[in-house]
Amino acid sequence: MADSEKILVNKTNLDSTKRVSTPVGETLGEGEILLKVERFALTTNNITYAFAGAGLGYWNFYPEPDPWGCVPVWGFATVIESQCAEITVGDQVFGFLPTASHLVLKPAKIDDVAFFDSTDHRADLFTWYNRYFRCAADPVFTKDSADVQPVLWPLFMTGWMLAEKIGNAADTIYISSASSKTALSIAWSVKHQKCEARSIGLTSKGNKGFVEGLGIYDEVQTYDDLKIDPALKSAIFVNVAGNGALCSEIHVALGDRLIESVALGATHRAPDDGTLPMPGPAPELFFIPTIAEDRAAEEGFATTHQKFADAWHAFTPWASRWLELQLAHGVEGIEASYRCVLDAKVAPQQAIICSWA
């Protein structure tokens, strides 16, 4: 059997990477399965995982000796060995994977649609990331959307659930980093859930044409030309960019008309020294791993997942019209792609799908 390949990053210096190659000779324990990672996406979402690795525990999913860490990704894998009676060799799964070519899991709570990894070190980590979907019976999976699923699945779930929460709570929703895939997922969901709020996308001059061309926002403004409608009565700000200076500017400009400030991402990763004025409601993190699990607990996972699947199948034909997929092969191609994403050299309409072969 071929060696297992892995790419690690320095947790305190994300520019520093190293490759690790080890034999895939581990004997599976009772109930374990060995997966071969087939393809996965690299996006700014994964860079956010790396930046938040210590604070939110992302380094703990696939632990490595300090100072190294394994960046988690979303993608597909195939079972190539199984000591679990309910999981068959050849089964395809979708879920949270390491930046590695192979992975051992210990399935538990198995049903037709999904199972959980019960590996000891993941017992106290976020449940949402420990669930793996079995593609053969997963209502989300189709061959037609398989190429975009690793890129957009977690981002669209965030946008879909956030739109349900805030779409009718204010007159206007301002969304920063409007060209990002997460922001576009929010705007699409606001529009297609027939929410009452107007959506205003905030973006750079260079990306304004792309964002306007999608026709998904009610209005698009640039960061250096922010306009506040004097008639506006209430607004919500969704900070996808993670830019402290922009967040401060929005809070100051909207004043007491700002009723909610949502912290969501870090596409810009601008430093915030904590001294900027931030009047109005304190920014609150919308953290989809807890939001989604709370929702599933309230109405039942099968119900929530089917609703998400229905929304997903409506969303992906639109997304596929503008999403440009680039392919990266082998450890060298994956490592180079990681650096491109880290250095923000990937255009908003582009996404990278990686495979080890």
Rounded alpha-carbon distances, angstroms, from residue 246 to 44, 111, 175, 264, 270: 19, 45, 11, 14, 9
Same domain for 188 and 120? no
Q: What is the pLDDT of residue 241?
A: 83
CATH of the domain at 132: 3.90.180.10
CA–CA gap between residue 214 and residue 188 (Å, rounded): 10
The answer to whether 46 and 181 are in contact (CB under 8 A) is no
Is 307 a member of any domain? no
CATH of the domain at 196: 3.40.50.720
Whether residue 268 is predicted with pLDDT greater than 80 in this model: the reply is: no
pTM comes to 0.94
The token pair that represents 114 in the structure block: 């999904």
The answer to whether 72 and 64 are in contact (CB under 8 A) is no
Question: How confident is the prediction for the chain on average, in pLDDT?
Answer: 94
Whether residue 270 is predicted with pLDDT greater than 70 in this model: the reply is: no
Is 295 a member of any domain? no
Percent helix / strand / coil, the chain, rounded to 5: 35, 30, 40
Same domain for 237 and 113? no
Same domain for 122 and 56? yes
Cβ atoms < 10 Å from Cβ of 87: 21
Which of 51-63 are b and which e, b meaning 16 or more Cβ less than 10 Å from the residue's Cβ? bebeebebbbbbe
Q: In the listed set 236, 264, 289, which residue is the last one of a domain according to the structure?
A: 289
Cβ atoms < 10 Å from Cβ of 296: 18
> How many domains does the structure of the chain reveal?
2
Q: Give residue-wise pLDDT tens across range 61-77.
A: 999 999 999 999 999 99
Q: Under 8 Å CB-to-CB from 43, ≥6 apart: which residues?
A: 151, 155, 181, 341, 346, 351, 352
Q: Under 8 Å CB-to-CB from 36, ≥6 apart: which residues?
A: 77, 78, 80, 101, 102
Same domain for 140 and 157? no
Q: In the listed set 289, 309, 332, which residue is the last one of a domain according to the structure?
A: 289
Is 319 a member of any domain? no
Compute the average pLDDT of residues 305-311: 98
Same domain for 217 and 132? no
Q: In the listed set 289, 311, 337, which residue is the last one of a domain according to the structure?
A: 289
Is 306 a member of any domain? no
- Domain with 70 in it: 4-148+324-355
Same domain for 71 and 178? no
The token pair that represents 140 in the structure block: 């989300």
Is 44 a member of any domain? yes
